[in-house]
């Protein structure tokens, strides 16, 4: 699993909007400048986040984007699952993957299933609020 630029930028945008939520709707240009992300590239990310109702958009002079929920209600997993093709460590565990003919005899399948669960559990346990404050024990995950 390799998190793409799209996934990493999505997290940065969501954190930025969470940190500035008291300001209301934030213009795309402002977020792009603060995060040093191309405004054009950011448009495609924002479009997906709005479509899936992670963000609300408002057109016009006072327009921009804002979160639709409190930062504590967004997990890193939910954001990355939206922006990444897959978070699975191996292709046979991806959603919609064809059943592997070797699955029943695969000696490594339990390893990959366990890793998949650890990744999911870890990313589900970290919220935007955690990343905003950069505090807490979310980064002391022990296997």
Q: What is the mean pLDDT of each run of 10 residues along the chain (143 residues)?
A: 92 96 95 95 96 94 94 97 90 84 89 93 95 66 51
Q: So what's the pLDDT on residue 137? A: 55
Q: So what's the pLDDT on residue 76? A: 97
Q: So what's the pLDDT on residue 111? A: 94
Q: So what's the pLDDT on residue 139? A: 55
Q: So what's the pLDDT on residue 95? A: 83
Instruction: Please tell me the distance from the alpha carbon of residue 34 to that of residue 6, in angstroms, as a whole number.
Output: 17
Q: How far is CA 27 from the centre of its chain?
A: 20
β-pair partners for 55: 67
Q: So what's the pLDDT on residue 44? A: 94
CB 89 within 8 A of CB 24: no
Helix and strand numbers (H, E) in the chain are: 6, 2
How many CB atoms neighbour CB 10 within 10 A?
A: 24
Instruction: Please tell me the distance from the alpha carbon of residue 9 to that of residue 116, in angstroms, as a whole number.
Output: 23
Q: So what's the pLDDT on residue 133? A: 81
């Amino acid at each position: 699993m390799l998190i793409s630029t799209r996934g990493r930028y999505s997290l940065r945008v969501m954190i930025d909007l969470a940190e500035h939520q008291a300001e209301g709707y934030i213009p795309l240009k402002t977020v792009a400048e603060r995060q040093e992300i191309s405004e054009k590239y950011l448009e495609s990310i924002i479009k997906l986040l709005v479509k899936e109702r992670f963000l609300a958009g408002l057109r016009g002079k006072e327009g921009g984007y804002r979160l639709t929920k409190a930062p504590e209600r967004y997990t890193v997993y939910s954001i990355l699952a939206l922006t990444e093709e897959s978070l699975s460590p191996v292709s046979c565990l991806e959603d919609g993957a064809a059943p592997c003919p070797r699955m029943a005899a695969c000696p490594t399948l339990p390893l990959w299933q366990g890793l998949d669960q650890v990744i999911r559990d870890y990313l589900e346990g970290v919220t935007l609020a955690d990343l905003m404050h950069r505090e807490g024990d979310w980064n002391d995950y022990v296997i």
